[in-house]
Chain A
Amino acid sequence: MTFEYAPAPESRSVVDIAPAYGLFIDGEFTEAADGRVFKTVSPSTEEVLSEVARAGEADVERAVAAARRAFEGWSALPGSERAKYLFRIARIIQERSRELAVLETLDNGKPIKETRDTDLPLVAAHFFYHAGWADKLEHAGYGHAPRPLGVAAQVIPWNFPLLMLAWKIAPALATGNTVVLKPAETTPLSALFFADVCRQAGLPRGVVNILPGYGDTGAALVAHPGVDKVAFTGSTGVGKEIARTVAGTRKKLTLELGGKGANIVFDDAPVDQAVEGIVSGIFFNQGQVCCAGSRLLVQESVHDEVLDALKRRIATLRLGDPLDKNTDIGAINSAEQLARITALTDQGEAEGAERWTAPCELPSSGYWFAPTVFSGVTQAHTVARDEIFGPVLSVLTFRTPDEAVAKANNTAYGLSAGIWTDKGSRILAMANKLRAGVVWSNTFNKFDPTSPFGGYKESGYGREGGRHGLEAYLDV
C-alpha cells in the first residue's frame, strides 16, 4: 500500500445556489428588461449551477441611473460612515467565507484550497484595508479634500471573480463613488452573492449594482454617457477597445490587462524555493492569472538541473475535483478558454518547442488541461510571446544578467517579473531594470491590499491597491 490520499471533498452543503438569479439594481434583484437569461456551469463537471439574468442596454440605463441617484447621498456621507459600511462588508465576508469559497470553486473551477486560503482572505482584507481609507482621504496625498468621480463602471474577469470585484468595489466605495459592476459571463455567482452581502450590511440602495452579462453588456456600460469612471480587468484586446470607446470623454480609465511575465532564475538561486515559485507562478489558478510567470528564463548553467527538479515537482501536482481539499490543479474556466490553450500549445509544438506534459489523468467531463512545459523555447516562439492564460510554461535560457533583462523586457506587456538569486545586489539591479509593475524577488504571485498592482506598456495603466490605487477613483 502506498500513501494515496483518500478523497477529501469540501462540503457543498454550505452554499445554497438558487435556480435563478436576477440583476441587482437599486438594491433589488430584478429580471432583465428583455427577459434574457444565460446559464452558468461548473467547469469541472459542466453541471448547470444556475440561470442568470442577462443585462441589456435598458438595464445598463437603469443601473447607471440608480448609481447616479445613490451617488449624491453616498458621496455626501461622512467618510467615517462609509468606512463603517465597508468594515461591515469585510466582516460579513469573513463570516461567510467558507460559503463563498465553495461557491467560487463551483462556478470558477479553481481548487478550494485556493479560494479558501487565497481568494477569500484577500477579498476580506481588501475591504478591511479600504474601509480605513474612507475617512482619511485627505491624508492620501491627493489634496486636502479629494472628491470622488461619480459613477464607476467596472468590468471584471472570470479568473478571480470575487477578488477582482473587491479590487474594484472597495476603493470605489471608500472614495465615495457608486458602482455598476459587470461580472464575467462564466462566473457571475459570487458577485450576486456579494449583492446579498451588501443587503446584510445595510448598504444604501443603488450604491452597488451588479449586471451579469456578456461582452455586449460591458461595452454598453463603459460607453454609457452617465459613467464617470471606467475600470476594467481583462484581455489587452478588450482593454484597447475600451480605451477607444472612452477617448474624447471625461471618463477616467484604468486598465489591468494581460501579461507574459518572466520568472528569472540565476545559477545561485535557492533552487528548491525557485522551483516552488516557478510552479506557483504558472500553475496557481491553472495559470489563468494575468501576472503569471509564464516565461521561465533560466541561466544556462543550471538549465538541466532546474528543469529536472521542476518536472519532478510538477509530477506531484494533484489535478482533479476542485472541491477536494488536496487538489492543486482545478478545471479550466470554460470550453472557450480550453480551446484557446489547446490551440496555442498545439502551435508551440508545431513551431518546434519541446512539449512535456505532467503525467496526470484528466477527468472525463469538464474542462481540463494538464500542466505543460515547453522547453527549447526562444523569443521567436508564439508560446513565448502570446499570453496563453493556462497551465503552460515556456522555458528559455540566458547567459548573463543583461541578457535576462533584455529578454524579460522584450514583450509588449509589462505586468510582472520574478527574480531568483541569493545575491542581494543583483536582485536590486535586476528589479531596477525590469519594465514591469510588480517584481517578486525570491517569491512569486504574492498579493496584498496595501501593495499597488498594475502594469507597464500593454499590460494597462493605473494601479489597484495601496495608497496608489485610490487615485483611480478620485478627481485628481
Chain B
Amino acid sequence: MSTTPHVPAAHALTDVTGSDASLRRFLHGLPGVDAVGLEARAAALGTRSIKTTSKAYALDLAISMVDLTTLEGADTPGKVRALGAKAVHPDPTDRTTPATAAVCVYPDMVAVAKEAVAGSGVKVASVATAFPAGRASMAVKIADVREAVAAGADEVDMVIDRGAFLSGRYLKVFEEITAVKDACGDSARLKVIFETGELSTYDNIRRASYLAMLAGADFIKTSTGKVAVNATPANTLLMLQAVRDFRDRTGVQIGVKPAGGIRTAKDAVKFLVLVGETAGTDWLDPHWFRFGASSLLNDLLMQRQKLATGRYSGPDYVTVD
C-alpha cells in the first residue's frame, strides 16, 4: 500500500484501494444495513437506565469526551479564550470536574486556543478542508490543513467531498483523505467528517466509514453540525459497528465522534451505552470517543451538580460562554 504507508490497517485490505472500480467493489460488498433494525437497536439501547454510581461515572466520562466547539463566523479571540478556560475547568465551583477532551475551532483560531489551554492537557482541534462545505480546490484544502497544523492543532477535523462520494468517485475521496493525513503528519490526529445527513443512507455511512478508515483516518465523525440532520444514535451505532469490525479485521483501532444535535446529558449517556455495548469498553476513553458539542457541556455539568448535591441545578449555576 503505497498511498498510505502510515496506515498499518490498510495492509489487510491493500488490494481494494487501487481504483474507483476496486473501491466500489469492496465498499458495495460490505454487508448492507437494514434501517429498521438499526434504528430499533439504537432505540432499544436508549432505554438503558443509568443510575447513581454508573450515572456519575458516565457524566464524568462524557465531560472528558467533549470537543468543546465554537464554529461561528462571529468567533473572536475573546470567545475562543473563554471557551478554552471552560474546557480546562468546566465547573469553576467544583475542581474535581474533569477537563474536556479538546476545544474545536476554525484554523485561524488555533493559535489562540492553543494558548488558552496551554499546559492543561486539553487538545486543540481544528476543522479544515474548507469546512463545512468542503467545496474548494485540493490546494486550498491542504493549505487550510497545513495552516492549522502549523498553528499547533493536535487534531484536524476534515470534511469529505460528499459530491464525489455520492457520484461514486470513491478514489477521489480516498486520495483527499490520504493527502490530508499526510499534511497532518505525525503531530495531528485526523478526524474525517462524513456529513451523514448528506450521505443520506445507512449503506453510504458504512461505506464512508470503511473508506475513511482505509485511507488512514484516526477518527470517523458524523457531521459538521451545520446541516439539518447531524449525529443520531442510529448513525453513531453504525459507525461504532464499523470501527469494531475494522479492528477485528486489521488490528487497528479507530475513534468515533458524533457531532451536532447532542444537547442533553441524558442523550450523551445513551451514546455511551451505545459505545459500551457495541464497540466495547476499549472505546470508553476520550482517546477513542468524542462528542462534538457546545451546549451539551452545561447540561452535563448541571446533572453532575444534581448528583453531587441532590438538588436540581439551573443555568445560572453553570457558565455561559
Contact in complex: A6, B47 (CB < 8 Å) = no
Contacts of A270 in B (CB 8 A): 31-34, 37
Contact status of A3 and B32, CB under 8 A, knowing A113-B47, A325-B47: no
Q: Please tell me which one of the listed residues A3, A7, A113, A272 contacts residue B241 in the complex, with CB atoms under 8 A apart.
A: A272
Overall SS of chain A's interface: loop
The answer for the CA separation of A443 and B58 in the assembled complex, in Å, is: 32
Q: Is A8 an interface residue (CB 8 A)?
A: yes
Contact in complex: B54, A6 (CB < 8 Å) = yes
Question: Closest Cβ of chain A: how far from B222's Cβ, in Å?
Answer: 17
Contact in complex: A273, B33 (CB < 8 Å) = yes
Contact in complex: A3, B58 (CB < 8 Å) = yes
Q: Mark B273-310, 1 if CB is under 8 A from A, else 0.
A: 10011000100100000000000000000000000000
Q: Mark A100-117, 1 if CB is under 8 A from B, else 0.
A: 000000000000010001
Q: Please tell me which one of the listed residues A2, A6, A422 contacts residue B55 in the complex, with CB atoms under 8 A apart.
A: A6
Q: Is A316 an interface residue (CB 8 A)?
A: yes
A-B contact count, CB below 8 Å?
71
Contact status of A273 and B58, CB under 8 A, knowing A6-B53, A117-B47, A316-B277: no
Q: Is B317 an interface residue (CB 8 A)?
A: no
Contact in complex: B49, A3 (CB < 8 Å) = no
Contacts of A76 in B (CB 8 A): none
Size range of the interface on A? 20 to 34
Contacts of A273 in B (CB 8 A): 33-34, 36-38, 41
Contacts of B54 in A (CB 8 A): 3-6
Contacts of A316 in B (CB 8 A): 277
Size range of the interface on B? 20 to 34
Q: Is B50 an interface residue (CB 8 A)?
A: yes
Contact in complex: B57, A3 (CB < 8 Å) = yes
Nearest to A273 among chain B residues (CB) is B37
Q: In the complex, which residues 6-22 of chain B have their Cβ closer than 8 Å to any Cβ of chain A?
A: none
Contact status of A6 and B37, CB under 8 A, knowing A1-B57, A268-B32, A270-B31: no
Contacts of A4 in B (CB 8 A): 54
Q: Is B272 an interface residue (CB 8 A)?
A: yes
Contact in complex: A276, B37 (CB < 8 Å) = yes
Nearest to B37 among chain A residues (CB) is A273
Q: Is B52 an interface residue (CB 8 A)?
A: yes
Nearest to B50 among chain A residues (CB) is A5
Contacts of B47 in A (CB 8 A): 113, 117, 325
Question: Closest Cβ of chain A: how far from B163's Cβ, in Å?
Answer: 26
Nearest to B32 among chain A residues (CB) is A422
Contacts of B31 in A (CB 8 A): 268-272, 422
Contact status of A276 and B41, CB under 8 A, knowing A3-B58, A269-B31: yes
The answer for the CA separation of A5 and B54 in the assembled complex, in Å, is: 5
Contacts of B32 in A (CB 8 A): 268-270, 422
Q: Is A217 an interface residue (CB 8 A)?
A: no
The answer for the CA separation of A3 and B54 in the assembled complex, in Å, is: 6
Question: Closest Cβ of chain A: how far from B307's Cβ, in Å?
Answer: 12
Nearest to B61 among chain A residues (CB) is A3
Nearest to A267 among chain B residues (CB) is B31
Q: Is A277 an interface residue (CB 8 A)?
A: yes
Q: Is B51 an interface residue (CB 8 A)?
A: yes
The answer for the CA separation of A269 and B34 in the assembled complex, in Å, is: 9
Pick 30 A–B contacts, CB within 8 A, sort by A.
A3-B54, A3-B57, A3-B58, A3-B272, A3-B273, A5-B48, A5-B50, A5-B51, A5-B54, A6-B50, A6-B53, A6-B54, A6-B55, A7-B51, A8-B50, A270-B32, A272-B31, A272-B33, A272-B38, A272-B41, A272-B238, A272-B241, A273-B34, A273-B36, A276-B41, A325-B47, A325-B48, A326-B48, A442-B34, A443-B37
4 A-B pairs with least C-beta separation: A273-B37, A8-B49, A325-B49, A422-B32
Given contacts A2-B281, A3-B58, A276-B41, 4 further A-B contacts (CB under 8 A): A117-B47, A270-B37, A272-B37, A443-B34
Residues of B whose CB lies within 8 Å of any CB of A are 31-34, 36-38, 40-41, 47-55, 57-58, 61, 238, 241, 272-273, 276-277, 281, 284
